[in-house]
Chains A and B, each alone.
Chain A
Amino acid sequence: MDHLSGPPGLNAPLAIAVDGLDLSFDGSSKVLSDVSLHIRQGEFVSLVGPSGCGKTTLLNLAVGLVPHTGKGSIHLAGAVPVQGNPQVGYMLARDSLMPWKTALGNAMFGMQVRGVPRAQAEERARAMLQEVGLAGFENALPKALSHGMRQRVALARTFAMGSSLLLMDEPFGALDAQTKLQLEDLLLRLCQQHQQSVLFVTHDLSEAVAVSDRVVVMTSRPGRILADIAIDLPRPRSIRALQKDPHFHELYAQLWTHLESGWSKHEG
C-alpha cells in the first residue's frame, strides 16, 4: 500500500501507525483483517466503507474502548492506545451534550475532566464557541439549540481540549444535508486553524473527499483496506467552491469505483 502522499512532509512523525492488524470478537468472526494504516501528524484521513466494515471498531481500538487482541499492532504517536490519552480527542455521531449543562458548560466539559483550571477552561470554551459561530449562545441549554448548533457545541468541546489527534465517528451523520455542508465548512476552517491530525469515519463519499487529505476505502466484513486515495485538492477549501471543481467530482467518481469493487468482491 502506498501511503506516501498528502500535504504534510514525508518525514512528519506518525500520529497513528496501524500495522498488519487483525481483530476478532470472541475468537470467531473476524472484524478486521490485516489492516495497515499510517497517518502523519497534521494529516486528515477519512475512512469509508460499507456499514459493519469495522471503521468504527478501528476508531474504538485507537481510543482504547476496544482492547486489541490479535496479530499486528496499533500505536498513537508511538504509544499503545489507552483510555483517556490527553493527546486524543474523540467525537461521536450524536452530539452527546449533557442536557443539564449550558453550551458553555458543555464546551468546558472535556477540558474540566482533563484537569484544566476552571477559569482557563471557561476562557478557552468562550473563544471556541465564538469560533464555531455560537457567540451569544453561551448560556443556552441544549434543548434550546438546533441539531446543527448542538453539534457545533460538540465541535467546540472537542477542539477546545487541544488534543493533537482527533478521532471522529460520523460526527455529521445525523444532520440534514444543508446543515451538514455548513458544518463541513466549519470543520475545514477549524482544522486549518488548529492543525490537528484527524481520523474521520464517514459513509458519505463527498464529505470524505471534501475534508480529507487521504481517503481510505475499506471492504465489508472482515474489514480490509482496499484503496488509499490521495485527495490533492488545494487548501484552504470551501465546500461551495468544491461543488464546481471538476477534479472534486473526478475524485468522487474514483472513490465510488473502489467502493463498488469492494462490494462485488464480497457480496456479488
Chain B
Amino acid sequence: MAGYVIRRLALVAVVLVAVSFLVFAITAILPANVAYLILGPFAPPEQVKALELRLGLNDPVLVQYWRWASRFITGDFGSSMLMNRPIAPILSEAIQRSLVLTLTSFVLIAIIGVALGVAAALRHNRPLDHAVSVATYLGIAVPEFFWAIVVILVFASYLGWLPASGYEPLSAGFWGWAQHLIAPTITLVFAHLAHVSRLTRSSMIEVLQSPYVMAARAKGLPERVVVVRHALRNAMLPTITVLALDIGRLMGGIVVIETVFGYPGLGRLLVFSIQQRDIPMLQASIVVVAAVYALANLGADLLYAWLNPKIRYGRSIA
C-alpha cells in the first residue's frame, strides 16, 4: 500500500508540472501582447519594447517558464496585471470562499444523494423510486446556469427570500453571509445530485438481493439494522468513488455558478482573468485548481483501495 501511495503521489506531481507547462505554453501564445496590455493601445513603441525587455517577454518560452515555475514553487505567484496586487492573497481569499461553497454543497450532495438513493432502492419500482429517478434525471439534463436562473427566479424574484447575487463577508454578520451562500448551494446540489443518488440506488438494489442480506433478514434482524449496517456499508463503495469525482465536477461547476451569482470565488476569478487577459492570475489559478482536482481523485482512489482490499493495484489504475 505504501508503495502504491508513493507512486500515485509522484504521478500527481508529474501531472501538475505538466499542467503548469501546458497552461504556460497556451498563455504564451495569447495574441494580446502583455506589455501592450499594461501600457494601453496608444503607448509609444519604444516604451512597449522597454517594458517587454524588463518583463523578459522576449526570452524563449522555456526560459520564461523556468523563471515563473521556480518562483511559483516558493509561493511567489507574482502580481495580478489588472489589480496590480500580489496574486497570492487574492487567490487565497477566493479559494477560501469557493471552499465554503463547494464543501457545503459536497456535504449536502453526499447526505441527500445517499438518502434519496437508499429511499428509492427500498421502494424499487414504486412511485417514490420513479419520482426520484425523474427528478435526478432533470438535474443532470439541464446546464447549471439554467438552474441558477430558475433558482434566482423562484427565490429572489418571486419569493423575495434571497438576494439574487453578490457576497457579504462573514465579518459583516452571519445571516447576510449565509443568505448569499444559499442560492448557489441549492443550484450546485441539485445539478450534481443525480450521480450519487442513481449509483447508490442501483448498488443498493443489487446488494439488497444478495444472499447475505437475505441471511441477515432470515436471522430476524430489524430492517433498520439490515439496511444500514449490512446493505448500505457495501453499497457505499462505488458511491464513494463518485463522491470524489463530484469534487472535480464541483470545481468545474463553480466556474459558471459563481459567475451567475456574482460570488467572488475561484471560479469567477478564473473567468475574470480570462476575460481581462490577466495572464499571471490565470496561470496561478489553473494550477491551483488542477492540484485540488488531482488530489481529490487521488483521495478517492486511495479511499477506495483502503475500503476494498480486494482491489489489485495494477499499473493500469494509475
Q: Answer whether A and B are interacting partners.
A: no
